[in-house]
Amino acid sequence: MPEGDTVWRTADRLHRALAGEPITLSDFRFPEIATLDLRGASTVEVVSRGKHLLHRVDSGLTIHSHLKMEGQWRVESPEDTPRWLRRADLRAAVGTAHWTALGLRLGMLEVLPTPREDEVVGHLGPDVLGPDWDPVVAAARLRSSGTVVGAALLDQRVLAGVGTLWASESLFLERIGPWTPTAELDPERTDALIARISRLMDASRHHAVQSSTGVRRRGEEHFVHARSGRPCRRCGDPVRVSMIGPAGRERTMFYCPTCQGGLAPNDDGRRQNPLGSSGGRTSPYRRV
């Protein structure tokens, strides 16, 4: 699932293409809004809230979308729009005289009055990339979550925008085991973890390739994410992968048992197949 930095980049791209321009194409292919016509209205702004996209128009409505696992918003020229409108996986098209925004395979799409946005995003915790980001509030919510730190980071009610990639990478860099209860983290370590997440995601939102290592070559972008069975870039022992979170909502977590305090409670230590590839290359990573 795209994480907050990717969604922020999507919102930024849509905003720059559409803001201030009258809408000339309005095509929604979700049953509840299939007859809605926004032509004549203008885009006020497109912003992200965690993993959610809010496209506000001057008629007082907000187009709310969520990419889920496979969704995507593309920006194409009006000349290329007709072929995109023929696609079976198109869910929305909002166009101006200059650009067309095309929503493909969207996991969620609805339109609601802008004053009611809180009904769909009000449950979210502090947005790591939001204008009102407050690391003190974020750290307090994390410590009081009542669960293990890896699961807390993935709970959008605690922090908005963090997914498995940034949870795995930040915990590795801070040498914190994902299954450590948040109540056992002292304030200093909690603050350092929150600061690390903020730095990683803030740097990543300006690049198409998400990297925690500082390297954007394929296979060299991450320390542990998607590297199960491969050598840890810090200690050389195998990286592991396990599921984390409440039953029915488990998520994947990558970690190094040697660097992060041991195996996961549900990891029996058996051999794991690698996920991801470094292309067989040896890279001059700094030791972390």
Indicate if 2 belongs to the active site: yes
Indicate if 3 belongs to the active site: yes
Q: To 10 degrees, the CA torsion angle through 66, 192, 216, 206? A: 50
Catalytic residue among 56, 91, 234, 251: 251
CA distance 126 to 40: 34
Catalytic residue among 49, 51, 141, 240: 51
Catalytic residue among 2, 126, 178, 257: 2
Indicate if 70 belongs to the active site: no
Q: CB neighbours of 129 closer than 8 A, spacing ≥ 6?
A: 4, 5, 8, 48, 161, 201, 202, 205
Catalytic residue among 3, 169, 174, 221: 3
Cα torsion 128, 131, 134, 140: sign: negative
Active-site positions?
A: 2-3, 51, 251
